[in-house]
Structures are given as structure tokens and as C-alpha cells.
A and B are shown apart, each in its own frame.
Chain A
């Protein structure tokens, strides 16, 4: 039976990985993902998890090791953050087109310079196009559930793609929450063993990762893109089954008081809970404000988002990433593309907030809504605005 316990979110994630009975964990320390792999190394050391714990010499080798492990047919996990994720970057593109179902939890953190260990989404936005399935957790329960969901989806033979579960560094990873931890029997019912279609085996030799000459390279990339798009069906089905078994229902986008909303906040990750409080406060003042939260980031759920946005006139999109020189933040950019030439589309305004651990408070959201509504009345010149910049 599932047990509700007070537990640090990182440890809950490690519990999910243990319950998934992974075969290999590759680990290199980087704050703030460290608690996840530390806990897993303890489990391996104490015989609670029968897996190889490979303490590699860099994040680059962590992902390389994971590629070898997954190609050998093993259930494979690692975790990363920030600079370490950037160091992995070269390799991240490879298992996705090679269709190796590695699962990684990223505890999102800012990028240098200046060096910052605190939370924002700049590390993962750099990795937006690596071709992995990506979800964003709002709270600890979701972090636990989405980790199990990730193994289930990634290893499904119809999908066979690597998957990232994003959790906000510190603001989520290091917080103690009441979380319902499923037991082994329950997890076994949800997560079948990994049965790869191909694996490295001398009895049945195959060549993996060959040279892609110009005549085949495009086709390989298109096949990958098609697989990523097609994975949505399996992602949704896996969430449906999760709901049937355990009662918690997940969707690609989540809405809060959005039905009649004229202005919608758009968020990803743990700031969404603060955003809900802000929506309540603004509703009390009689404002028709709601919230849409994106849970499934890749493949982007365009259809679901359009539906969720309803008849809103203004979208205030919060990006926790400042893209120097770009027209607007990455989430804002995607949404502009989603609504391009859609009749009656809402006006979309992009805001950058919460960089490098800067607090995003109820007041921040109120300020954003106010600014978005003001912008909607006239034609703003700037395409995005950074909130809360100290001038002195």
C-alpha cells in the first residue's frame, strides 16, 4: 500500500528510481541534483537497490555511460543540473535520435556567468531541442509520479526515446513535502520490465550509431521528429493508466480558474503554486484572471494548449530564462508559434522572471498581469520584459 510520508523531494525522486528497479545509475555531483544520486548510492551500498552505481568523472561521461548502458539493454538513470547539463549537451542529442530510453531528472538551475547555484530554467532551455521527451513537475508528488511515468513512456517500444523530468532546483528539490510513495507491488503493476527491441549482444550483432551520409541524415532526423510527436499518445495513455491505478490524473497542460478568464498567466514548474495563490487574490479583487501550466514541454501539446487557453484575450507568459538578443523567451516564442494566424488568438506577452533564484511572489504575478493588460491596450515596442530588475 502507498504510504504518505514527509520526505525531501530529491529523496522521493530517488525512491521512485529505486522502485523502478534500475540497472544502472551514472552520477557526477552537481548542485542541486546531488541529493538524488547520493540517496541512490546509499541504496546500492545497503543492498536496497540491485544496480551498478557508476561514479563517473564528468557529466559528459555520465551521459556517455548511460548511452552504453541503455544500448546494452539496461534500465538506466542519471540526474543533472546547470553547467553539468551543458557539459552533457553534446551527447544529449545522440541517444534521442538513436532511440535509447534513458531517464534523467534535471534539477533546474541557472547558468554562469555569474556563477549561481539557484533555480531558473536557463539550463534546460539551452537543451530544448535535444529531442528528449520533457515534463515539468510542480510539486514533490508530481516529481515522484512523473519519474515513474518517464520510465514507463521512454521504454515503451512505440516510443523508445529518452526522457527528462524537470524539477526546480532547491525550491522543489530540497523541500520536504508530504508525498505518497507507492509500494513495490503498485509500481510493478504500472511499470513493466524494460524489454528493448535491440541490444548489444554478440549472439545477434547489430551496428548502432553508424555514419549518416547526406542521403540518409535528413531521414534519420525526420524519423526522430515523427517518433517524438507520436510519443504523445503513449504519454497520455500512461497518465490515464496512472490515474486508474492510483487516482492522480495528469494532463499535458493544467488549468486553474481559467474557464472565464480574460487574462491567463502561463507558467512551468513550481512557481505555478504561487501563481494559483496570486490568481485567487486577483479573483477576489474581481479580476478575471486564470492560470495555464505547461506540464508536457516536449512534444509541445499545441492542441491542448489552444483548448486550455479558451477565450482569453491576453496571455502573460513567464519565462525563467533570459535569451540575450532573442525576440522573446523560449516559452513565449513557442506560444506565439502555436497561435500564429489562429483567428481570435489572444495577445501574447512575454515576461522574464525568477532568474538565478530571484523570488517570484504573489506580487510578481500581480505586477505581470497588470503590465500585460496595460500592454494589451497599446502597442508595446519591446517583445519581452524582465520583471523586478533593480536599477540601483
Chain B
């Protein structure tokens, strides 16, 4: 067990922090699951943190100069380099503390990116930073497409989903690749802590973020983030969809602590994927055989992780 996590008590509904390091008044769409997740992330982290944001929805909606929703130090440089920027912040602080230029006080450092910034264009920078072992946490808020550019497909867009660059047509059924498994890529780096989380299970999410911040070295948290605008779903149903993604086994919740897989939520009686697809415009073109194929793969993926959790 990681020593920093041994005494970890975790948040409960009774001791949730009241402080909101991410201020209300940001410009997210109604029903944004991503900003809901980010609010929980920041509540869990508190104010002793430096945030390096990639370009993306969360950067755009929180920082239109001269306004800012950030009550903590926050830096945005570009789309693909949040992990590299965070590396610089972390390493520089280490050197300056050693040389007596700043107080020897621990400050959490978080890099934040969407699925495109994390799994596509920024994968190299993320991999480099994890390999070098910087003490930071990377949080990916995954809404499964390039949303603020007009809903284009990313490597995290699920199989069959419609986006503006994976449109269904006479020769196409939408996204033709399976969702890229970024948590597994992160875990393959041998970093101490990897987790998946959902804003529908907020205590689980906050506790995972807090654990990720506590461990020394790189930690990675992949958060499922519904997007009404991009998905063509009702804003008031975002939390419901986040919950359904877990309960249908589409987005399993687990941790990988020092290589050991732990299921956070065992789904023994899963709901059918159709229940999750209903009410999302991006899936409405799918035919029965395609849905059946997705169902089989979803079950197989879940079983794979469940097996990993059993054997490790």
C-alpha cells in the first residue's frame, strides 16, 4: 500500500468541504457534466494547488479575460502541453525550494485536459511527464469529443457515436474505432495511482482525486463527463447519463494502485446499453446488430477489468 494513502479517511456527505475553489459564474453550457466534475475536483483539492489547464472547454469557460473563475493559481499555455507545463512548474518549485528561494511547503500541482488534449494531441506530453515521475496529478475530463470546436470525433469518442467528423451516412455508421483506453495507457507507465471516476458518484470521484493528489509521483484520474451540447441530450439528464454509463458497464469505475486493479463499483446486474443510448442524439442512428456488437464489447471490457481486479 502507498504510505500516503494508508491513513486516508476520505470525504463523506458529512465532511464535504464547503469551499469552492472554482467560483460560480463561469460560462459552461447548461447541464455541463464536465464543469460539475471540475467543481468536485476542486472541492476535493482545496486551494493549496496550482492548476495547469490545456486548451478546451474548461479553459474557455473559466477564463475570459478580464474575468476568471479560478480562486487558485491557474496557468494556460496551449492545447497539448498541460502535462509538460505542469512538469515545469513542479520541477521549478522543487529547485527553488531546495535553494531557499521559496518556502519548503508542499503544493499540489494539477494538469487538466479534455479527452482530445489528453488522449490525442497531448498524449506524448502526458506520457513524457508520467515517465519522468513528476509529482503531479493529471485529470482528464472526458466528454468523448472535441466539444468547443464544434463536436468533432476524438480518440475517446465511443464506437458508433455521431460527431461532425464521424457522421453516419450511406457508407458510415459513425465513429468506427473503439474508445481509446487512456487509463490503461497511463497505468502502463507504472505510475502509482490511476483511477476512473464519474460525477454521478461524487464521493467516489472526490476521494479518488484526493488520493491522486496525496500520492507522491504522477497520478491519473479519468473522469466521465456528459456533454448535452455535443451528445444531443437533455441538460437536466447529465447526472443520469453519467450514472447510466456506469450501471450499463460502459464506463467501469476502478482504481489501479501500484498496478493493482480495484473495482470501485461492481455491476452484477447491468442495465442494457440501449437504456444509456436512449435520449442521446449521437446514438440514435445505430441499428440493432450494431447495438448488439457494442453490448458484447462492453461486457467483454468490463469482464476484463473485473478479472484484472480479481487476479491482481
Residues on A close to B: CB < 8 A? 23-24, 26, 50-52, 54-58, 60-61, 64-74, 76, 90-91, 94, 193, 200-202, 204-213, 216
Contacts and interface: CB of A to CB of B under 8 A. Distances in A.
Contacts of A213: 64-65
B85 A23 contact: no
Of the candidates B66, B95, B129, B132, the one having the most CB atoms from chain A within 10 angstroms of its own CB is B95
A61 B81 CA distance: 7
B91 interface: yes
A57 B96 CA distance: 23
Nearest to B77: A67
A95 B83 CA distance: 17
A150 to B, nearest CB: 18
Contacts of A216: 65-66
Contacts of B78: 64, 90-91, 94
B234 interface: no
Contact of B125 (A64, A94, A208, A211): A64
B84 A205 contact: no
Interface residues of B, number: 48
Contacts of B85: 64-65, 67-68, 71
B131 interface: yes
B108 to A, nearest CB: 9
A65 B91 contact: yes
Interface string B77-104: 1101100111111111111101101100
Contact of A207 (B74, B77, B81, B102): B74
Nearest to B128: A57
Contact of A72 (B47, B96, B125): B96
A193 B85 CA distance: 23
A245 B50 CA distance: 40
Contact of A51 (B48, B64, B76, B95): B95
22 contacts: A23-B92, A23-B99, A50-B99, A56-B87, A57-B131, A60-B84, A64-B77, A64-B88, A67-B75, A68-B77, A72-B50, A74-B95, A76-B92, A90-B78, A91-B78, A201-B50, A201-B73, A205-B71, A207-B74, A208-B76, A210-B76, A216-B66
Contacts of B125: 57-58, 60-61, 64
The 6 closest A-B pairs by CB, nearest first: A68-B88, A57-B128, A74-B92, A64-B84, A64-B81, A65-B88
B111 to A, nearest CB: 9
B274 interface: no
B52 interface: yes
Of the candidates A50, A61, A213, the one having the most CB atoms from chain B within 10 angstroms of its own CB is A61
Given A202-B50, A205-B71, 17 more contacts: A23-B92, A23-B99, A54-B87, A54-B91, A58-B124, A58-B125, A60-B81, A64-B87, A68-B87, A69-B91, A70-B92, A72-B50, A202-B47, A205-B47, A206-B73, A211-B59, A211-B64
